[in-house]
Copies of this chain bind each other. A is one copy, B any other.
Amino acid sequence: MSIKGNIIIGQSGGPTAVINSSLAGAIQASKDAGVEKIYGMHYGIEGFLHEDIIDLREKVKTASDISLLKRTPSAFLGSCRYKLPKIEGHEDVYEKIFEILDKYDIQYFLYNGGNDSMDTVKMLSDYAAQHGKPQKFMGIPKTIDNDLPVTDHCPGFGSAAKYIATSLKEIMADSECYGPYRTSVCIVEIMGRHAGWLTAAAALGTKTPDLIYLPEVSFDPEAFVKKVQELAKTKPSITIAVSEGIKLADGRFVCELGSTSDKLDAFGHKQLSGVGTYLASLVSEKTGIKARAIEFSTLQRCASHIVSRTDAEEAFNVGYLAAKKAFEGNTGSMITIQVTSRNPYLVTYDQFDIHEIANVERMVPLEWIINDGTYVSDEFIKYGRPLIMGEIEPYFSEGVPQHLSLD
């Protein structure tokens, strides 16, 4: 392969605990291939449009920088939630992008993100094809939501799943400490507005909740309260994992029930509240049992102090391979992970046409959701368990993990 010109890498969408491992992989591949200039988009394509570009040979110089980058949460380069407009009628945006690419002699463009970000790769590679532009565009998969199609799973999911399984085990031990002397319900709210992969990860640990509700099946508040009452007859401490995205049969989000416009606080402000808080209120009201809600919030995607080594290594590899495939002349594809064996766990990597991936969401298979929509099956455990295996120790300084920073 012959390298022509420079490379740029961008990070997009909500970060994961290992998105920077993919960046590390892409940087490493570029160094290995002898690319002269390795650029980073500061705040994704949004920053790129403002020509906000970072010299990554300056910012990630040494092998120990690479090590630290792998241990750094959030998007090292900064991220964005900017969706490119369609080409027709917005040619000026695309012309500007290619002007900047030409100005910096950028021949390889890697974009790391989820469904929306793969749309950016699709649009740019389409425009390049239509206008005879030489640049290569490759997608690097990333999302804690695990909802990209084609690939077996997405980098970022395994680490979020490990955080969830670990934290749940700890929370449950805590909740159970008063034994038979106190009955209580703990509702744990987990991210995933449409797909339930992350909430299903609640089943991956060695101490797991009593009930698990995914957004793939509709939620019945009455049946839910009945289940809790039934469990409370024999168990003093009940833990329930719910996706933020669970919906009623009529399509309304359950979290909407908790925030109607007539609900104002003492100062007349509208209250915000999530589905966990709402269901805890519902349980208290209907059963009299003390209930609390715990929301993992952004912790589940930024806890780089407890990443999955499997996930981090795969994140590195998809970043590395995206660069390598681009150098080999490929464009308009995303790197995918294929699992060739679940036990022992073995993978290969491939690439796939971005048109089949962009904007498509993959849900948890309905046959993996069991017990009237209140748990996940062993098939899910077999699928998910390998993804949370292994650890990467943080480097600590002043008692907290060290991170690499742009400043």
Contacts and interface: CB of A to CB of B under 8 A. Distances in A.
Interface of A: 15, 42-43, 46-47, 72-75, 78-82, 162, 165-167, 169-171, 173-182, 204-207, 221, 256-260, 263-267, 269-273, 277-278, 280-282, 284-285, 292-295, 297-299, 301-306, 308, 385, 388-391, 393, 396-403
A16 to B, nearest CB: 10
Given A277-B273, A306-B306, A397-B206, A299 B265 contact: no
A281 B272 contact: yes
Contacts of A173: 72-74, 302, 403
Contacts of A269: 281-282, 284-285
Chain A binding surface SS class? mixed
Given A263-B271, A398-B205, A292 B281 contact: no
Nearest to A398: B206
Nearest to A397: B206
A178 B277 contact: no
A273 B271 contact: yes
A206 B43 contact: no
A165 B305 CA distance: 12
6 contacts: A73-B173, A74-B176, A79-B177, A205-B400, A389-B398, A391-B396
A162 B400 contact: yes
Contact of A398 (B256, B298, B385, B391): B385
Copies of this protein, total = 2
Contacts of A180: 43
Contact of A297 (B15, B259, B282, B292): B292
A388 B400 contact: yes
Contact of A401 (B166, B179, B398): B166
B302 A281 contact: no
B298 A174 contact: yes
A174 to B, nearest CB: 4
Contacts of A79: 177-178
Contacts of A169: 400-401, 403
B277 A267 contact: no
Given A206-B397, A297-B292, A277 B271 contact: yes
A393 B398 CA distance: 17
Given A265-B278, A388-B400, A78 B178 contact: yes
A14 B139 CA distance: 48
Given A204-B399, A401-B169, A78 B177 contact: yes
A108 to B, nearest CB: 23
A134 to B, nearest CB: 30
Nearest to A259: B265
Contacts of A204: 398-400
A173 B15 CA distance: 10
Contacts of A284: 269, 272
Contacts of A292: 297
B277 A281 contact: no
Contacts of A72: 173
B166 A305 contact: yes
A390 to B, nearest CB: 8
Contacts of A221: 267
